[in-house]
Chains A and B, each alone.
Chain A
Amino acid sequence: MRKLIRKAQKGDGEAFIELMELHKENMYKVACSYLRSEADIADAMQQTILDSFEKIGTLEQPRYFKTWLIRILINNCNDMLRESKKVLPMDEIREMEWENPQTDLMEFLDTLDSLDEKYRTILILYYVEGFKIREIAQLLKINESTVNSRLQRGRSCYREVLEHSIG
């Protein structure tokens, strides 16, 4: 991947697209943890791809590419949230706006829905992106102990939901 990053930094669009192909699924999952409409998620991803192509020359360390990319995505998601100011509950919105999701996506969204909003992004960054607590704290601009406690709480909430559903 480092080679792709360095090629992309020299302006190789195809190398950059290959990088995006590698990361788009995880980007999508992170965006899902923030945004409630599929169209907003699509816009945030598109903007992130264009922003990161424009700015990739400024990335000093290719090893931080993923953190850097997710930071841009999170900024775009936050911008989108500020613009849309959508306040409807997630379930309702998803039913309205999600277009022909495949079963795997449905299952992912169901799992996400079972988690409280404030734990979703942290759990995605931890389990999907494989970020460390310190990295998540930097990304979300919150302190490490908050990340740690939300991670713990998010896990217990999930267990509680499961236990409740099992009866």
Chain B
Amino acid sequence: MEYRDRRNDELKERLSTGITLTDTVNEKVEEAYAQIRRQGQAGKVKHYKRPRKTVVLLAACVGVMATSVLVAAATGFFTRDTQMEEDMLTYAFDLDYDLKPGTFEVIAQYIPEGYVEGDTNKYWPEDNWGHGFTLMPILNTADLEREGNKIQENNVENVEHATLSGMEADVITFKEADRYEAPTVIFLFNPQEGYVLEVWGDYNVPQEELVKVADSLTVERIGDAEYDSEEEKARAAEELQQEESLQAEIEEINSRGVAAEHVIPVGTAYTLERENSRKTFTVEEAEITDTLENYDTGNFYDYSLVEPWLLEDGSLRPYTRQHYENDTLLDEETVEQCFLRVKVKVSQELLEGAEDWDREVALDARIQRLGDFQGNSYQWPTDYYQPVPSEHNFLHIDDNCVYLDQPANLEGEERAHSFFWRTMDDGEELEYEIIFVLDKDLSQSNLALSFNAFANPGTAEGIFFSIF
């Protein structure tokens, strides 16, 4: 190998070698994730998440349906084989590589009354922002190849065949749609032009309206597309490998659990050391309470999520939750809820060279259950709980606190992005309270509190305060 090539390889290696992100960057990234989760939690941006867990118990009751439909166009870009096995619907495509894939533009001629375009090809009711329908980007044959020549949907309850906008179409509904607030999905197939269209409708969109939308589509071929080259396929395979290796890394970190020395008792101070600052957190007191008194509704991150659950005496209504073990539904039960009030003291020490950025302190925290103590670590439990989606109980999701007694950012964007953040000067100390909502029967578990200002579990700063 030539000297020049060796140097180029060396440069490539040096630039592409793995690096560890600093805590400052990780904190900001985590803060962004928390905002995204909160937006999803509040249903402010986009609401529905397809049931992410396989509902094994219920699936067994539905029975097994297996059909296979082969639709072979005499000529065209693809033939489609439709398989329905249990609740998994699979469309497998056989592509004609001699025909050049196209790029397409789709327009819906029918928009239900009261819907406005919230984003490109996304339409929402004016009074229910985010809960509408989407004309998904069209899949041409090159896209279908990238999808592995197939499209799959699981948890499918029913597939109704139809002809919409002159195309063969399947209207797909999902199991326990009301309970899980499942969407309706319509696939339209055009083998003659070489594309598949998906119209995705939120649970709140009436199915007949969604069908009308799907029956009003005009599609125009606006250009040519290419199948991926071998080089692009290799790159995609590499990305997939990266994805798998990241997943393996996450699993490995989780399997380590939380080391005993990273779990500290209430009353202990922990100092988060930064180059330009020291922020010391102490959990002074934690108390379970059935009712909440003397609170300011404006101090809830989003009171509209709490209000429906609050009774006149300040206690919370029971709700129905599901209990999963390794993604298998174990049971469902109605449980009581309570509050966990946590008093915290935080102090700020700014060092030489501190900038505005160093003055900011994240005051919020998460509450999590720790599992068995093995070796020198607490394991993460393999079971978990979640509210039945149709309950609209967003108080437990992501284990975040719902209340801060002294928020500094109360208006507009500042509130949405920085409600739990506060600017603190050198020497400033703040005693504050955050409140969580817990399932009453879990309140005596091995609960651990972690501040969002600290780094993730598995890192040196993954510190947890043991609550009980």
**A contact residues vs B (CB 8 Å cutoff):** 1-2, 6-7, 9-14, 16-17, 20-22, 24-25, 28-29, 38-39, 41-43, 45-46, 49-50, 53-55, 57-63, 96-102, 104-105, 107-108, 111-112, 123-124, 127-128, 130, 155, 158-159, 162
For window 19-48 of B, CB contacts with A under 8 Å fall at: 19-25, 27-29, 31-33, 35-37, 39-40, 45-48
**Nearest Cβ distance between residue B274 and chain A, in whole angstroms?**
6
- Answer whether A46 and B7 are a contact pair too, CB < 8 Å, given A6-B136, A13-B39, A24-B21: no
Q: With CB as the reference atom, state the residue of chain A lying closest to B118.
A: A57
The 25 listed contacts between A and B (C-beta, < 8 Å) are A1-B243, A9-B136, A10-B48, A10-B183, A11-B40, A11-B48, A13-B36, A13-B37, A13-B46, A16-B36, A45-B32, A46-B29, A55-B119, A57-B119, A59-B137, A96-B353, A97-B353, A97-B355, A99-B275, A99-B276, A100-B22, A100-B23, A107-B17, A127-B15, A155-B7
Complex interface: chain A residues within 8 A of B37 (CB): 13-14, 17
Is B49 located at the chain interface by the 8 A CB criterion? yes
Residue of B24, B48, B353 contacting most chain A CB atoms (<10 Å): B24
**Nearest Cβ distance between residue A81 and chain B, in whole angstroms?**
16
If A11-B46, A16-B36 are given as contacts, then 13 extra A-B residue pairs at C-beta distance below 8 Å, sorted by A number, are A2-B147, A14-B37, A22-B239, A99-B22, A99-B23, A100-B275, A108-B19, A123-B11, A124-B15, A127-B15, A155-B11, A159-B7, A162-B7
Q: What separation, in Å, do the CA atoms of A20 and B143 have in the docked complex?
A: 22
Complex interface: chain A residues within 8 A of B423 (CB): none
Complex interface: chain A residues within 8 A of B276 (CB): 99
Whether A105 contacts B29 by the Cβ 8 Å rule is: no
Is B375 located at the chain interface by the 8 A CB criterion? no
Q: With CB as the reference atom, state the residue of chain B lying closest to A28.
A: B21
- Answer whether A11 and B24 are a contact pair too, CB < 8 Å, given A1-B239, A96-B353, A105-B19: no
- Answer whether A57 and B122 are a contact pair too, CB < 8 Å, given A45-B28, A100-B275: yes
Count residues of B near A (Cβ-Cβ below 8 Å).
Answer: 63
> Which of B16, B33, B146, B242 makes the CB contact (< 8 A) with A127?
B16
Q: Mark B336-374, 1 if CB is under 8 A from A, else 0.
A: 000000000000000001010100000000000000000
Complex interface: chain B residues within 8 A of A57 (CB): 119-122, 134
Q: With CB as the reference atom, state the residue of chain A lying closest to B274.
A: A99
Chain A to chain B: the 4 pairs with minimum beta-carbon distance, closest first? A11-B46, A42-B28, A49-B32, A102-B20
Complex interface: chain B residues within 8 A of A17 (CB): 33, 36-37
Main secondary structure of the interface of A (DSSP, over half): helix
Q: What separation, in Å, do the CA atoms of A57 and B231 have in the docked complex?
A: 28
Complex interface: chain A residues within 8 A of B120 (CB): 57-58
Whether B17 contacts A38 by the Cβ 8 Å rule is: no
Is B419 located at the chain interface by the 8 A CB criterion? no
Whether A29 contacts B19 by the Cβ 8 Å rule is: yes
- Answer whether A38 and B19 are a contact pair too, CB < 8 Å, given A9-B134, A155-B8: no
Whether B22 contacts A61 by the Cβ 8 Å rule is: no
**B contact residues vs A (CB 8 Å cutoff):** 4, 7-8, 10-12, 14-25, 27-29, 31-33, 35-37, 39-40, 45-50, 52, 119-122, 130, 134, 136-137, 143, 146-147, 183, 200, 228, 235-236, 239-240, 242-243, 246, 274-276, 353, 355, 357
Q: What separation, in Å, do the CA atoms of A128 and B32 have in the docked complex?
A: 24
Complex interface: chain B residues within 8 A of A63 (CB): 143, 146, 228
Whether B33 contacts A49 by the Cβ 8 Å rule is: yes
Whether A123 contacts B25 by the Cβ 8 Å rule is: no
Whether B33 contacts A111 by the Cβ 8 Å rule is: no
Q: What separation, in Å, do the CA atoms of A20 and B37 have in the docked complex?
A: 13
Whether B355 contacts A50 by the Cβ 8 Å rule is: no
Whether A50 contacts B32 by the Cβ 8 Å rule is: yes
- Answer whether A104 and B20 are a contact pair too, CB < 8 Å, given A6-B136, A42-B25, A123-B15: yes
Q: With CB as the reference atom, state the residue of chain A lying closest to B242.
A: A22
Whether A1 contacts B240 by the Cβ 8 Å rule is: yes
Whether A60 contacts B137 by the Cβ 8 Å rule is: yes
Q: With CB as the reference atom, state the residue of chain A lying closest to B119.
A: A57
Complex interface: chain A residues within 8 A of B16 (CB): 127-128
**Nearest Cβ distance between residue A18 and chain B, in whole angstroms?**
8
Complex interface: chain A residues within 8 A of B27 (CB): 42
Whether B25 contacts A41 by the Cβ 8 Å rule is: yes
> Which of B17, B40, B243, B246 makes the CB contact (< 8 A) with A13?
B40
Whether A22 contacts B15 by the Cβ 8 Å rule is: no
Q: With CB as the reference atom, state the residue of chain B lying closest to A55.
A: B119
Whether A39 contacts B22 by the Cβ 8 Å rule is: no
Q: What separation, in Å, do the CA atoms of A142 and B429 have in the docked complex?
A: 51
Q: With CB as the reference atom, state the residue of chain A lying closest to B275.
A: A99
Q: What separation, in Å, do the CA atoms of A104 and B126 have in the docked complex?
A: 50
Q: What separation, in Å, do the CA atoms of A45 and B33 have in the docked complex?
A: 11
Q: What separation, in Å, do the CA atoms of A59 and B36 have in the docked complex?
A: 18
Q: What separation, in Å, do the CA atoms of A59 and B15 have in the docked complex?
A: 28
Complex interface: chain A residues within 8 A of B10 (CB): 162
> Which of B20, B136, B146, B355 makes the CB contact (< 8 A) with A39?
B355
Q: What separation, in Å, do the CA atoms of A159 and B2 have in the docked complex?
A: 13
Q: What separation, in Å, do the CA atoms of A25 and B60 have in the docked complex?
A: 42
Q: With CB as the reference atom, state the residue of chain B lying closest to A43.
A: B28
- Answer whether A108 and B24 are a contact pair too, CB < 8 Å, given A13-B37, A46-B31, A155-B11: no
> Which of B12, B24, B47 makes the CB contact (< 8 A) with A42?
B24
- Answer whether A128 and B15 are a contact pair too, CB < 8 Å, given A1-B240, A24-B29, A58-B119: yes
Whether A105 contacts B20 by the Cβ 8 Å rule is: yes
Complex interface: chain A residues within 8 A of B353 (CB): 96-97
